[in-house]
Structure 1
Amino acid sequence: MVIKLIPIWSTCIMFWTVYSQMTTFTVEQATFMNRKLGSINVPAGSFSTFLFITILLFTSLNEKIFVPIGRKLTHNPQGLTSLQRIGIGLLFSIAAMVAAAVIEKERRERGAGDNGVMISAFWLVPQYFLVGAGEAFAYVGQLEFFIREAPEKMKSMSTGLFLSTISMGFFVSSLLVSIVDKVTKKVWLRSNLNDGMLNNFYWLLAVLGALNFVVFLIFSRRHQYKVRNQQVTGDDSEMKETKKATESFSTLEVE
């Protein structure tokens, strides 16, 4: 039943909550940093290119490097199970928020005062890289999990379940911003980042991500993969469906 997938579904949301920061606060950070590359002033929004480059890089390396290594370590023909991929993606998202918090603290300290110096916006690349690497694992893992584990008569819902984690992730991000604004009386998050404490918000996301990962581990240990009575061709068709959907998503992001 679909209800058996809800525990894992709920823990997938946090990754996309972190991901949403790359298109909001991280872009805002870039506007308060030195964006010059030689004589060119790089637009703040263009730094998200590093996110998409990382996604494409890790997606292409997945079949060539990560799957063969996974096969040797786990003795699993797939290399990594869908839940293992999701777990790796969640770990990357936690690391990204830790890196983001450290970089934001450094940005504020160096830019404080009249004699402050703006640090290079390219210091944002690590958090883009970590989230992008995490997405390469989390996206494939989540899509594969819902396609394979959904009831046979409800396969059409599998992609919908996955996409709902993305929309819920962005919703949770907006909800967290509202809650933080209310609790901190808008001290942490301000339109002028130099007057706020965005690094504390990133630390909050890192802590929530870590707690979410613990819950994910508990649910993962309790989850029993659906027994597959299908022939190999059936499995192959599902793998092709997952791969096709993944490639379509990557193409949409680049565009």
Structure 2
Amino acid sequence: MISTKLPQLRPPSCNTHLITNCKKANGFQMGILYLALYLIALGTGGLKSSVSGFGTDQFDEKDEKEKTQMAYFFNRFFFFICTGTLIAVTVLVYIQDEVGRSWAYGICSVSMFVAILIFLSGRRRYRYKKSSGSPIVHIFQVIAAAIKKRRMELPYDISMLYENSSEVSRIHHTYQLRFLDKAAIMAEGDFESSSMAPNPWKLSSVTRVEEVKMMARLLPIWATTIVFWTAYAQMITFSVEQASTMERSIGDFQIPAASLTVFFVAAILITLALYDRLIMPLWKKWKGKPGFTNLQRIALGLLLSTLGMAAASLAEKRRLSVAKHVGRNTATLPITVFLLIPQFFLVGAGEAFIYTGQLDFFITQSPKGMKTMSTGIFLTTLSLGFFISSFLVTVVKRVTGSHDEQGWLADNINYGRLDLFYCLLAILSFINLVIYLICAVWYKPKKSKAAVEMEALQLAQEKC
């Protein structure tokens, strides 16, 4: 806000149509701009990776009523995020264009200051959970101990493995990733001679090993959700370029091409509202559960994304046929921009399911002391999706282009084959969906203590 208000922190306004006559920003002004952008990125990263985990800490998973309320929390949490996005791309953009850029940034600054005050006002009512140390260090300790004991044989009785956690916080042994169990084998030299406490780099408890297993089991699900954000990145870039060539008038008003992202936000809000107020209550009455499981929501998101890419390919094929008929250099093609709405709504609805499903999955299926870390892992799917998106565009341009032609992704999309690019994304999304379903079947969700005890009882009865 300050850089847009003070003339010393920005270059003078450009009142001419000749861009070459505009004065460029100096080093100091660019430094202030980059400093502001980096501070926003730093604050956003810290906020996003912490707020969802801290929010779920306010619910007691052992209380069935609060556990049900937590299922609603993820939907409403994302709903308010999208509401803020909707206000940003409508109200604040209007204020920025019609009133002034400094007013728009000023409103954001005041809003954040008020949000901080509201957050701090409830600090005495929040539930705080003590940290048990760095989760990354704990993971490396288990891996290091397992590697050191890789040649040792696992005992036939799992009760012989080392365990020093209290009964309340104990995580029961599972039979996946058994190599890591070797970190819990007791051997000579594992205990410190002075205090008789175990050396964490040589010996880990079963609970600590199971925590690492839980994080490892998240990785296949994590990997198979990256493709969604790759497709999403293409939708919010090429769809705007498509819209800029299409008829966008409603009466005397012309919709800005960039404003069509509102349909994304609208699709998310509508999907979340319907799911929260209609689907979840009906599902609870029918199945006795508060809505779909997190893995089911992720699957729905991936399916809707695949359908969205297919719809985008068909819409682009139709747009290209019109461009070929009337002339590829025509500025505005005689085809309505509302042809793009199905792809916006399908991918937007998919985002509503996959974002809340991922958030729920990575928080509830991670160890208690690693919730912030698991949220950070979830957020890396977004960043990696956008990186892979850029890489995919580069590869497609290089493979399909030539000296005379620019291939599928031409600078003027009327001369390209964006429909084939969308078709490629639809195929990749479908393959990814199949792989995800295999990983989801392989994944063993975290079980409650009662469920573990019941399973152990059944195994004992079978042996008898």
Pick the TM interval, shorter chain: 0.7 to 0.9
Q: CA 1:13/1:89 → structure 2, altered by over 3 Å: closer, same or farther?
A: same
Partner of 1:180: 396
Q: Name the structure 2 match of 1:196.
A: 416
For the pair 1:38 / 2:258, whether they are aligned, the reply is no
Q: Secondary structure at the match of 1:80?
A: coil
CA distance in 2, matches of 1:32, 1:81: 41
Q: Structure 1, residues 79-127: CA drift from partner, whole Å, max 9, x if none?
A: 2110000000001000100000000010010121446743111111111
Retained in 2: the 8 A contact 1:107–1:118?
no
Instruction: Kindly indicate whether the alpha-carbon contact (under 8 Å) linking 1:95 and 1:206 is maintained by their aligned counterparts in 2.
Output: yes
1:214 corresponds to? 434
* TM-score normalised by length of structure 2: 0.48
Q: Provide TM-score, normalisation by structure 1.
A: 0.86
Q: 1:69 offset after TM fit, Å?
A: 3.4
Aligned residue number for residue 110 of structure 1: 322
Aligned: 1:167 with 2:167 = no
Q: 2:410 is paired with a residue of what secondary structure? A: coil
Match of 2:232 among 5, 13, 19: 19
Contact 1:59 1:136 in 2 (8 A): yes
Unpaired segments of 5 or more residues in structure 1? 231-255
CA distance in 1, matches of 2:436, 2:288: 21
Match of 1:87 among 293, 299, 320: 299
C-alpha spacing 1:121/1:5, structure 2 compared with 1 (3 Å): same
Match status 1:144 vs 2:357:
no
* Aligned-pair CA distance for 1:199: 0.3
Equivalent residue in structure 1 for 2:342, among 126, 133, 152 = 126
Aligned position for 2:309: 97
Shift of 1:70: 3.1
Q: Deviations over 1:127-172 (max 9, x none)?
A: 1111111111111100000001112221111211111111111111
1:118 alignment partner, SS class: strand
| Structure 2 unmatched runs, 5+ | 1-211, 451-464
Distance in structure 1 (CA, Å) of the matches to 2:309 and 2:445: 31
* Structure 1 stretch displaced more, 195-204 or 165-174: 165-174
CA distance, structure 2, for counterparts of residue 142 and residue 108 of structure 1: 36
Contact 1:100 1:199 in 2 (8 A): yes
CA–CA distance in structure 2, aligned partners of residues 166 and 135 of structure 1: 11
Looking at structure 2, the residues matched to 95 and 132 of structure 1 have their Cα atoms a distance apart, in angstroms, of 11
- Aligned partner of 1:252 in structure 2 is none
In 1: Cα distance, 2:399 partner to 2:419 partner: 16
Given the alignment of the two structures, is residue 28 of structure 1 paired with residue 241 of structure 2, yes or no?
yes
Number of matched pairs: 229
SS of the residue aligned with 2:334?
coil
Distance, in Å, in 1 between the alignment partners of 2:227 and 2:279 is 24
Partners of 1:69 and 1:174 in 2: CA distance: 41
Letter in 1 for 2:369: K
Deviation (angstroms), 1:226: 0.8
CA distance in 2, matches of 1:70, 1:136: 18
Q: Which amino acid aligns with 1:91?
A: L
| Paired position in structure 1 for 2:123 | none
| CA shift for structure 1 position 68 | 2.7
Q: Deviations over 1:47-82 (max 9, x none)?
A: 111110111111111121121333355x25232110
Provide closer, same or farther for how the CA distance between residues 4 and 96 of structure 1 changes in structure 2, counting only shifts above 3 A: same
Structure 2 CA distance, aligned partners of 1:191 and 1:71?
51
Whether the aligned pair in 2 keeps the contact of 1:32 and 1:118 (CA below 8 Å) is no
Residue aligned with 1:86, SS: helix
Q: Aligned letter for 1:50?
A: F
Q: How far does the alpha carbon of each residue in 1:158-198 deviate from its partner, in whole angstroms, 9 at most, with x for none?
A: 21111111111111111110111111123100110000000
Q: Which has the higher helix share?
A: 1
Q: Percent identity?
A: 46
Query: d(CA) in 1 for partners of 2:337 and 2:238?
Result: 13
Q: Within 1, Cα distance between the matches of 2:341 and 2:302?
A: 18
What RMSD, in angstroms, separates the aligned Cα atoms of the two structures? 1.5
1:111 and 1:119 in contact (8 A); partners too = no
Q: How has the CA–CA distance of structure 1 residues 210 and 193 changed in structure 2, closer, same or farther, with 3 Å as cutoff?
A: same
Q: 1:67 aligns with which of 269, 280, 288?
A: 280
Is the contact made by 1:71 and 1:80 (CA closer than 8 Å) also made in structure 2? no
